[in-house]
Structure 1
Amino acid sequence: MESFGVSWPPRNEGIIYRDVLPSTFSTSSVLDFYCTKYNCSAPREGWQQRIQNGQITVDGEVVKAFDTTLRAGNCLTYHRLPWTEPPAPWRLQILYEDDHLLAVNKPSGLQVLPGGLYQQRTVLTQLMWRCQAAAANVSTLDYPCISQPSPVHRLGRGTSGVLLCAKTKAAKSKLSLDLAMGASSEPFSFAEKRIMKIYRALVSGIIDTDETFIKEPIGTIKYPGVLKGLYAATPRGKPSQSKVVVLQRDLRNNRSLVQVEIFSGRPHQIRIHLAYLGHPLISDPLYVSGGKPEMSSLALLEESQQSEVNHDDGGYLKPANPVPGDCGYHLHAHKLMLIHPITEKPLNIVAPCPPTLCMPGEEFAVEC
């Protein structure tokens, strides 16, 4: 199976954040502005450190005084210093490719889009580097790079398997519509939905029923370390539906291998629904039975989540409590069936499962 990728450099290049103050902006100091707008990035002392480091400019001029006055129309930049991102795999296997689509087998541990500590070590970066190499004729790849492929959906950092990318604007636009249709909570036939996703998962406990439909709504709840709230099972959430089929029961190890088809596309839906069923994914660091995190310790976590600071940059360190991007669970996007957005022909894209998620005699994925 053909693969591509470039190993990660030791440090990224940092990030530049830009702000242009609107006409309605009320006069304040540069320190108060950053402490207010980006209060979850660093404590007040951290922003003071960043100003002293010369990491902030106003209209192109480095500022060192905390009380520098800001007014409407000012252009501010904050340069987040380069850092060594946490370890992540970098090689991607090609499952399917034509002039409009690219499907890759994403390894567990690799983030799809930039976020948090992972700004460079992402699928998006590898796609960009591959396209740049082809354009510069320094690659051995034997295909023309139409444009930089763009992922049209996401997989959790700890989830492996089929990731679909669009190489043209026409394909991306059509796939976006098809995926929006797939966000419905009701089961449709393949012809109606145009895109169907089949997953494999390894869960704790023995599921007695061969086939189960889970319809628990999914929404956000307050959770320390997740600014916009954590997705979880909640009656106040959006309608969600998953179909779970038991493939194998391991009585000796008290676990079940299951196939999951999702009829709605809520964040972390499979992890939440299986946990709600009382069978969370093996080694899931976040979701427990009931489809929520362990709630008894949340008060303590909230008190401690912003206590530790990175003294090089002044920003908060990663929360000590589990967050959605933490890995360890066993979940794989095994099959993606779709109607090609341009040719209208059916496609069935399969990513071989890792050994822990294979049936006896089934071919499994080999790390490259």
Structure 2
Amino acid sequence: MSGKPPSLKRIGLPWPELNDGLAYKDVVSSFSSSSELTTVSDFYSTKYKSSAPLLGWIQRIQNGQIQIDGEVVKDHNTLLRRGSKLVYHRLPWKEPDTPYSLEVLYEDNDLIALNKPSGLQVLPGGLFQQRTLLTQLQWCFSKKDSSTGARESHPVPVHRLGRGTSGILLCAKTKLAKTKLASYFAEGTSLVGFGNLDQECGTGRKISKIYRALADGIVEEDEVVIKQPIGVVRYPGVAKGLYVASSEGKPALSKVAVLERNMQRNCTLVKVEIQSGRPHQIRIHLAYMGHPLVGDPLYVAGGKPKCFDPDAVDSAFAEDGGYRRPNQAVPGDCGYHLHAHQVELPNLLNLNKVVKVVAPLPPILQTSSEAEENGFSSCKLS
């Protein structure tokens, strides 16, 4: 295996108090009405209805946050015409407290593997537009390029981990690496549901992904294979819908192995190898089998969210005109214990060699013997 060995090398810069805000650009191409005219408030409240209600968009317009063809407009009844160029300026805001320090687990000319802390979002979305792992990568490598004079290299994540999930995140440093890694992940998911069990469970797979998780209750079976499909349902506060266990969903497969049962704390430490990459797959699959992750604020037994009304919408909106955060839990909420512990994949330059990356385990996800060896208490929960 080539590349730098695991070390305590870290990257990451502290976050500024406020982010830079955002600018969303649009060009009016067509109208639904025969009159070929619509108002600026109708345009935004129709196209971006998941961002803010009509009254919220009117508030943003009156704040001077909308430009039409380079001019600020404050009258929400201003008419648009085909070809009008619009810019919505989202005001800077303080994003929630977020960790920023990243441990480098492995690095070569094509790949960098990072140990993502729980609480750090991978890509921009929702309240987190700057405080993301992607931003730290851009800051770090832009600084490195300017100081060395080397050709610019901007690593990008090739898969995702939930905000509350910690552990290994693979990032490609070249276009070729990005293409290869994306194909490896897609290939693994495509095998599930269309072959025999041996093929689905890893034969010939190029990437092996092993997680540690702390599940609620006592898992009786030593090994379990979960093949529950995962689909999407409407859910307040999640514009593209919430992933849940669904017979109408897409194939997904997880292999669960019990590492240790804690009768006193009524929880089970498990190792999970996923053969597909559906969003929130491990959280959903363990909940589906009746053992949701300890501390998971969203998924409960059965692989569905806690009781909610998919048609409920909070009519109030926040200071910037957008919808308030829903009362129900959302996928990005933290509190559960899930860690991407080990990844194996071919060396991108020599497919006969294997790159193995291991992320140190949080104390709560170590077995009693591992915790004793590392000098930690074996108590799983405080």
| TM-score, normalized by the shorter chain, greater than 0.5 | yes
Deviations 1:63-109 (A, max 9, x none): 11111111111110000000000111000000000111000000000
Counterpart Cα distance in 1 of 2:374 and 2:73: 56
Q: How many residues align structurally?
A: 357
**1:334 Cα shift?**
0.3
Structure 2 match to 1:18:
25
**1:185 Cα shift?**
1.2
The gaps in structure 2 that reach 5 residues or longer are: 1-7, 194-198, 377-382
The amino acid that maps onto 2:185 is L
Taking the TM superposition and a 5 Å limit, the aligned residue runs for 1:61-80 are 61-80=71-90
Structure 2 match to 1:349:
357
Structure 2 match to 1:4:
11
Task: Choose from 267, 275, 278 the match for 2:290.
Answer: 278
The gaps in structure 1 that reach 5 residues or longer are: none
Query: In the alignment, is the contact (CA less than 8 A) between 2:260 and 2:270 conserved in 1?
Result: yes
Find out whether 1:180 has 2:192 as its counterpart.
no
Query: In the alignment, is the contact (CA less than 8 A) between 1:250 and 1:256 conserved in 2?
Result: yes
Taking the TM superposition and a 5 Å limit, the aligned residue runs for 1:1-368 are 1-23=8-30, 26-137=36-147, 147-183=153-189, 184-185=191-192, 187-188=199-200, 192-295=204-307, 298-299=308-309, 302-303=311-312, 305-311=313-319, 313-344=320-351, 345-362=353-370
Deviations 1:167-222 (A, max 9, x none): 00011111111111011315457662111100000001101110000111100112
Query: In the alignment, is the contact (CA less than 8 A) between 2:104 and 2:113 conserved in 1?
Result: yes
Query: In the alignment, is the contact (CA less than 8 A) between 2:122 and 2:161 conserved in 1?
Result: yes
**1:308 Cα shift?**
3.3
Query: In the alignment, is the contact (CA less than 8 A) between 2:202 and 2:275 conserved in 1?
Result: no
RMSD (Å), alpha carbons: 1.9
Query: In the alignment, is the contact (CA less than 8 A) between 2:15 and 2:100 conserved in 1?
Result: yes
**1:292 Cα shift?**
0.2
Query: What stretches of structure 1 move > 4 A for 4+ residues in a row?
Result: 143-146, 186-191, 363-366
Counterpart Cα distance in 1 of 2:350 and 2:218: 43
How has the CA–CA distance of structure 1 residues 190 and 339 changed in structure 2, closer, same or farther, with 3 Å as cutoff?
farther
How has the CA–CA distance of structure 1 residues 188 and 234 changed in structure 2, closer, same or farther, with 3 Å as cutoff?
closer
Query: In the alignment, is the contact (CA less than 8 A) between 1:109 and 1:327 conserved in 2?
Result: yes
Query: In the alignment, is the contact (CA less than 8 A) between 2:115 and 2:168 conserved in 1?
Result: yes
Q: Secondary structure at the match of 2:147?
A: coil
Identity %: 55
**1:343 Cα shift?**
2.6
Counterpart Cα distance in 2 of 1:181 and 1:348: 19
**1:48 Cα shift?**
1.2
Counterpart Cα distance in 2 of 1:246 and 1:85: 38
Greater shift, 65-74 or 115-124, is seen at: 65-74
Counterpart Cα distance in 2 of 1:319 and 1:237: 25
With structure 1 as the length reference, what TM-score do the two structures score?
A: 0.93
How has the CA–CA distance of structure 1 residues 181 and 252 changed in structure 2, closer, same or farther, with 3 Å as cutoff?
same
**1:254 Cα shift?**
0.5
How has the CA–CA distance of structure 1 residues 109 and 47 changed in structure 2, closer, same or farther, with 3 Å as cutoff?
same
Q: Secondary structure at the match of 1:170?
A: helix
**1:307 Cα shift?**
3.2
Counterpart Cα distance in 2 of 1:308 and 1:118: 21
Query: In the alignment, is the contact (CA less than 8 A) between 1:146 and 1:168 conserved in 2?
Result: no
The amino acid that maps onto 2:154 is Q
Q: Secondary structure at the match of 1:131?
A: helix
With structure 2 as the length reference, what TM-score do the two structures score?
A: 0.90
Query: In the alignment, is the contact (CA less than 8 A) between 1:21 and 1:74 conserved in 2?
Result: yes
The amino acid that maps onto 1:162 is I
Q: Secondary structure at the match of 2:59?
A: helix
Counterpart Cα distance in 2 of 1:201 and 1:64: 52
Deviations 1:142-180 (A, max 9, x none): x96751100000000000000000000011111111111
The amino acid that maps onto 1:117 is L
Q: Secondary structure at the match of 2:170?
A: strand
How has the CA–CA distance of structure 1 residues 144 and 198 changed in structure 2, closer, same or farther, with 3 Å as cutoff?
farther
Query: In the alignment, is the contact (CA less than 8 A) between 1:162 and 1:350 conserved in 2?
Result: yes
Q: Secondary structure at the match of 1:165?
A: strand
The amino acid that maps onto 1:91 is S
